[in-house]
């Protein structure tokens, strides 16, 4: 065979595989033989093949096995892509009209073929282009978004600053979570990372790329290198991959968009990387066949062993991502076993010649990085659209591939035959056990041991001689038969099931009630009265049974029950032993020589046409799993990975598994400096050109941080000057008022040092006393009351002694409040700052100065005693030295109390609005109160309010808004739909990260409920415009990132006096009560 013939043959084989993939995706048919037959019948015309497979009443012709196996019998040196997903864009098949469907398919195929003829670009590449172009458009559009939309950066660069050596995240630039998941998985393969970072383009292409691949792949490789350099050495918490994505977009031209599939993107990415490294390898070769590191890293070989009409054949093929079907299997090994065997294989290792046909796959060479593509999407031909398979599929962190290796073919076949025999025996045992556990011939069945037990209980019941419906005299009392002692029915009337005695009569009440009850005996109505006659037993019982009959029957039933229980235990023991034997079939050392450790799991949450991707990647240095969710990179656990990846629990499941050869540590080993022997980290890992690129980006970020800090300092200075000016104005007004001997009360300004020309220190607003008619009135009354009590107890004392006594009395009163265990509606912390300070163990000096401030109020009564005490208090305040009371600490405590009051107002307002069903306004108050309250509680148990209660109402408010928005969407009316989606986008979606970030069970369940409500619409018929809006909205809802996006400003708070705040808070808390125990 000439070289040209070999090339043509390889091209024909690859083209046929592409047609098969396109046909499988369009029709949803997974039967390879049927697909081959359809192509043969249609002579390679894809449109006719689709028509053949989708014809409603078409018969499936007999299979031509020669066609099926002809590709396997042709030797090929070029790898085939085993298990790439569809090579074509998804075609909308939601229409009901078959003619329209056929025309749409034909038109799409004609357009695809024409585009390929004109541009040389395949439909698969065009599909990639559509997504990438949409991603770039989304990224550019994000510059014009308002603050209520997602994906906007925090204006504070400190929020975007990388913490130590924490892994760098990737920004989602518009439906590109698939890009982030794949790139992070590959980046954390340190060997792959080194290959990309140290890649240098061929020297000849510096002049001019000579073909399309070079023009496309080499710029992409450079941008991928730049991206990797930032992921290694950036000071940013996350970096923007837009330039790498834009290179991909520029390779093709298209105006359509769709969310990209992880497996398609990975397959295409590796193809491009392979081409780029191939160019370099061909330039560097010296007379020998070039080695491509991408092929050596990700591609392996398997041997296809088959039988066709009794004739055996073998053929070696290459593979990249290996496809596995999920539906119908419980774990990864079951999927692999099914994927390795196609057709009927009895004849493959049988001594007899057989007409049966089939083939097995045996790995001859496994790649260092083994990737399994889990097929979790299937095409629903009835609905005309793809659907996701949510079935549970288990996989382990360590996978031994020995049983699938060609060198173990003979022993594996023996073990498979043994497992097959054991499973057949297991099936028989399970069927036999089922007969014991589900006994009976009717629709309702019970365990046989229980049936025998019930029969024994029936036989042992006390026999009666009366039928349950006979011999009941409606006019007779409910005592039973004539001649029996009447039994007072008072107890029976009160209890529908009265206690019974062995004689069948009801137990009698006290003697005092007997006479009264005998005068008025109620008539028993057997068919209208709910209670049973007292002489009937609670359970059915045999009417006649002798002691001998009972003895024989009990003996038989007990013996039979023991036999049944013994047989059941034996069956269960045998079943467990067989399960254990099957599990340990491959556990001997000879079958544990090819270990592969789980490196990364790519997870998809959502439905077939909308969802979100993220990745779990193992960190071998920290010995833990990390969760890479776009810009968020957090520590995780195997338990969380299992919950999100196995499937069956919610809409999230693994879509791609990446295992690495555990005997090849170079895949994940760090690089060492050849001179010093030290591990290279950070910038030291980068070649000179990338080191300069990363440093330049870090300089830009440092400059941004510096400009932000300067701006904040300037703002702080302006605020300080404004406060000082306000304080000076207030002090001047107070001095003017005093000098004119005005009778109106004045605001108090307390200084931390003796009076001089310095600006006076302002006290907190809740300590200021502008007028006896507002917030200060109750505080003033408390102060005067303490002074009066002190004066009554110490009439002859000096003002200083009275001040000391009054302060002690006031402190004792507030201490009792602080120590009192009160319900939430009676929170003494709101009534006085000292109660808050005592409960949170404020320093003694802070308490003393705060109490002195209270007694230094100029608004106290204007009798001589109060004036003298006020003057003494003010003098003491003036004499306090800075070293005695740290004013920064004093201000910090009072600021903490101000924050507590503000949080209380947020909470109170939110709860009031929630009770009025004004959920949209209530949400922001509840969200901010929860966040502020959490900050308070982080510093002390008594610094805030009940976190569980706030969390409950925040969660309930979101659920109520979700219900309202969903109802609006269901209405189908344009204004209602727009309003509903606006509520979701501007309120609910923005708040979901707040529920996810702390991962409390009830919050996670609430998020799951909200997502499930909207995902349920995917399976329903709706207008195309609604479908389009739903498809656009769902990725935002399903985004699992815990990053807090741009948020609304806090609502404006009204001002309340201390008395108003306490009373209003008490009313609200009394109305809401406690958190429901089962509240979501």
Nearest to 313 by CA among 600, 141, 72, 82: 72
Helix (H, G, I), strand (E, B) or coil at 655: strand
Helix (H, G, I), strand (E, B) or coil at 477: coil
348 CB neighbour count, 10 Å cutoff: 20
Given the residues 177, 866, 1015, 1040, the one annotated as active site: 177
Q: What are the two backbone dihedrals, phi and then psi, of residue 9, each rounded to the nearest 5 degrees?
A: -65, -40
Given the residues 267, 361, 599, 612, the one annotated as active site: 612
Nearest to 960 by CA among 916, 928, 1017, 904: 916
607 CB neighbour count, 10 Å cutoff: 23
- Which residue is associated with the tokens 């061909």? 282
**Would you call 625 exposed, middle or buried from its count of C-beta atoms within 10 A (0-12, 13-18, 19+)?**
buried
β-pair type (369-375, 322-325) = parallel
**Would you call 895 exposed, middle or buried from its count of C-beta atoms within 10 A (0-12, 13-18, 19+)?**
exposed
Helix (H, G, I), strand (E, B) or coil at 372: strand
Nearest to 338 by CA among 321, 361, 357, 313: 361
CA angle 1040, 1046, 1051 (to 5 degrees): 120
Classify each residue of 594-604 as buried b or exposed e, where b means 16 or more C-beta atoms within 10 Å of its C-beta: bebbbbbbbbb
Q: Decide: 152 and 1047 in contact? Cβ < 8 Å.
A: no
Catalytic residue flag (residue 957):
no
Catalytic residue flag (residue 361):
no
Q: Decide: 1078 and 1005 in contact? Cβ < 8 Å.
A: no
β-pair type (358-365, 322-325) = unpaired
Classify each residue of 724-759 as buried b or exposed e, where b means 16 or more C-beta atoms within 10 Å of its C-beta: eeeeeebbeebeebeeeeeeebbbbbbbbeeeeeee
Q: What are the two backbone dihedrals, phi and then psi, of residue 170, each rounded to the nearest 5 degrees?
A: -120, 130
Given the residues 267, 524, 599, 604, the one annotated as active site: 604
Nearest to 1027 by CA among 260, 383, 145: 383
Residue 573 is encoded by which pair of tokens? 């023991």
Catalytic residue flag (residue 604):
yes
- Which residue is associated with the tokens 């979101």? 958
From residue 426, give the alpha-carbon distance in Å to each of 430, 432, 781, 1043. Answer: 6, 10, 86, 50
Kindly state the helix (H) or strand (E) to which residue 323 belongs, with its residue range.
strand 322-325
Q: Decide: 597 and 398 in contact? Cβ < 8 Å.
A: yes
Q: Decide: 565 and 449 in contact? Cβ < 8 Å.
A: yes
Q: Helix 1001-1015 to helix 1024-1038 angle, to the nearest 10 degrees?
A: 160
286 CB neighbour count, 10 Å cutoff: 5
Q: Give the max Cα distance, the chain.
A: 126
> Count of residues for the chain?
1080
Q: Decide: 603 and 645 in contact? Cβ < 8 Å.
A: yes
Q: What is the dihedral of CA 197, 200, 205, 211, to 10 degrees?
A: -50
Nearest to 72 by CA among 312, 338, 336: 312
CA distance 505 to 498: 10
Residue 682 is encoded by which pair of tokens? 């950070």
CA 888 to chain centre: 43
Q: What is the DSSP string of 749-795?
A: ---SSSSSSSPPPPPPTTT--S-TTTTHHHHHHHHHHHHHHHHHH-T
Residues with catalytic roles? 177, 604, 612
């Amino acid at each position: 065979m000439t070289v040209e013939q070999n090339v043509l043959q390889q091209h024909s084989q690859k083209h046929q595989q592409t047609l098969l993939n396109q046909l499988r995706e369009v029709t949803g048919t997974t039967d390879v033989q049927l697909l081959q037959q359809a192509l043969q019948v249609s002579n390679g015309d894809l449109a006719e093949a689709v028509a053949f497979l989708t014809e409603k009443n078409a018969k499936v012709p007999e299979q031509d096995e020669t066609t099926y196996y002809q590709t396997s019998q042709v030797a090929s040196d070029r790898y085939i892509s085993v298990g790439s997903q569809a090579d074509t864009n998804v075609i909308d098949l939601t229409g009901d009209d078959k003619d329209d469907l056929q025309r749409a398919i034909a038109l799409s195929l004609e357009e695809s073929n024409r585009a390929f003829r004109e541009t040389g670009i395949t439909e698969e590449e065009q599909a990639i282009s559509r997504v990438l172009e949409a991603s770039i458009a989304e990224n550019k559009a994000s510059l014009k978004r308002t603050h209520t939309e997602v994906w906007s950066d925090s204006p504070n660069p400190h929020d975007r600053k990388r913490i130590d050596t924490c892994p760098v995240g990737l920004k989602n630039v518009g439906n590109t979570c698939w890009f982030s998941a794949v790139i992070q998985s590959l980046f954390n393969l340190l060997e792959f990372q080194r290959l990309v970072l140290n890649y240098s383009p061929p020297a000849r292409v510096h002049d001019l790329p000579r073909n399309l691949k070079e023009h496309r792949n080499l710029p992409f490789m450079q941008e991928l290198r730049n991206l990797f350099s930032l992921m290694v050495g950036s000071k940013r918490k996350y970096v923007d991959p837009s330039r790498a994505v834009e290179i991909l977009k520029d390779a093709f031209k298209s105006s359509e968009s769709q969310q990209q599939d992880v497996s398609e993107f990975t397959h295409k990415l590796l193809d491009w990387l392979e081409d780029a490294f191939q160019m370099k390898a061909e330039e560097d070769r010296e007379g020998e066949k070039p080695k491509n590191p991408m092929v050596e890293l990700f591609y392996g070989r398997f041997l296809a062993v088959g039988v066709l009409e009794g004739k055996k054949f073998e053929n070696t093929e290459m593979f990249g991502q290996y496809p596995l079907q999920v539906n119908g299997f419980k774990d990864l090994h079951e999927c692999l076993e099914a994927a390795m065997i196609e057709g009927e294989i009895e004849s493959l290792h049988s001594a007899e010649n057989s007409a049966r046909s089939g083939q097995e796959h045996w790995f001859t060479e496994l790649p260092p990085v083994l990737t399994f593509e889990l097929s979790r999407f299937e095409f629903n031909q009835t609905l005309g659209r793809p659907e996701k398979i949510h079935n549970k599929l288990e996989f382990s962190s360590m996978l031994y591939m020995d049983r699938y290796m060609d060198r173990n073919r003979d022993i594996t076949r023996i073990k498979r035959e043994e497992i097959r025999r054991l499973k057949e025996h297991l099936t028989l045992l399970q069927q036999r056990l089922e007969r014991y556990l589900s006994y009976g011939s009717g629709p309702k069945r019970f365990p046989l041991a229980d049936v025998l037990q019930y029969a024994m209980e029936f036989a042992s019941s006390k026999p009666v001689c009366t039928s349950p419906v006979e011999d009941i005299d409606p006019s007779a009392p409910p005592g039973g038969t004539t001649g029996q002692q009447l039994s007072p029915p008072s107890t029976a009337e009160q209890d529908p099931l009265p206690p019974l005695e062995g004689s069948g009569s009801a137990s009698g009440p006290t003697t005092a009630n007997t006479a009264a009850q005998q005068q008025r005996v109620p008539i028993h109505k057997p068919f209208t009265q709910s209670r049973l006659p007292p002489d009937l037993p609670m359970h059915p019982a045999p009417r006649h049974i002798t002691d001998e009959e009972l003895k024989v029957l009990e003996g038989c039933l007990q013996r039979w029950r023991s036999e049944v229980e013994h047989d059941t235990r034996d069956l269960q023991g045998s079943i467990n032993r067989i399960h254990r034997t099957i599990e340990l079939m491959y556990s001997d050392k000879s079958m544990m020589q090819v270990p592969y450790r789980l490196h990364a799991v790519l997870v998809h949450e959502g439905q077939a046409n909308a969802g979100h991707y993220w990745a779990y990647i193992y960190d071998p240095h920290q010995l833990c799993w990390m969760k890479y969710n776009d810009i968020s990179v957090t520590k995780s656990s195997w338990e969380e990975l299992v919950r999100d990846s196995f499937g069956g629990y919610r809409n999230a499941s693994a879509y791609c598994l990446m295992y690495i050869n555990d005997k090849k540590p170079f895949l994940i080993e760090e690089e060492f400096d050849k001179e010093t022997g030290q591990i290279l980290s950070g910038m030291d890992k980068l070649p000179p050109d990338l080191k300069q690129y990363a440093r330049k980006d870090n300089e830009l970020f440092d400059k941004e941080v510096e400009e932000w800090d300067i701006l904040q300092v300037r703002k702080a200075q302006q605020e300080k000057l404004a406060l000082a000016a306000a304080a000076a104005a207030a002090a001047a007004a107070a001095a003017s008022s005093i000098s004119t001997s005005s009778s109106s009360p004045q605001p108090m300004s307390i200084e931390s040092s003796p009076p001089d020309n310095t600006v006076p220190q302002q006290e907190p607003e809740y300590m200021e006393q502008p007028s006896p008619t507002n917030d200060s009135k109750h505080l003033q009354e408390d102060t005067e009351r303490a002074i009066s009590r002190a004066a009554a107890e110490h009439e002859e004392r000096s003002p200083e002694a009275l001040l000391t006594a009054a302060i002690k009395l006031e402190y004792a009163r507030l201490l009792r409040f602080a120590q009192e265990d009160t319900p939430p509606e009676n929170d003494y912390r709101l009534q006085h700052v000292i109660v808050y300070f005592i409960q949170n163990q404020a320093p003694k000096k802070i308490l003393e100065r705060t109490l002195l401030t209270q007694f230094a109020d100029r608004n106290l009564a204007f009798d001589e005693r109060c004036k003298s005490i006020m003057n003494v208090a003010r003098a003491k305040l003036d004499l306090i030295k800075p070293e005695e009371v740290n004013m920064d600490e004093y201000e910090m405590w009072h600021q903490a109390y101000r924050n507590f009051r503000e949080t209380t107002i947020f909470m109170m307002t939110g709860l009031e609005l929630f009770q009025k069903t004004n959920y949209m306004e209530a949400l922001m108050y509840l969200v901010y109160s929860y966040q502020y309250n959490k900050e308070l509680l982080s510093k002390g148990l008594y610094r805030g309010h009940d976190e569980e209660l706030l969390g409950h109402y925040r969660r309930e408010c979101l659920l109520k808004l979700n219900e309202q928005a969903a109802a609006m969407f269901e209405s189908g009316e344009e204004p209602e739909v727009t309003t509903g989606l606006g509520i979701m986008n501007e309120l609910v979606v923005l708040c979901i990260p707040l529920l996810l970030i702390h991962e409390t069970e009830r919050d996670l369940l609430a998020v799951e409920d909200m997502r499930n409500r909207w995902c349920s619409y995917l399976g329903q018929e709706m207008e195309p415009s609604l479908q389009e809006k739903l498809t656009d909205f769902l990725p935002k809802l399903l985004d699992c990132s815990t990053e807090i996006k741009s948020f609304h400003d806090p609502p404006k708070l009204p001002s309340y006096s201390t008395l108003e705040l306490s009373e209003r808070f008490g009313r609200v808390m009394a109305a809401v009560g406690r958190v429901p125990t089962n509240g979501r």
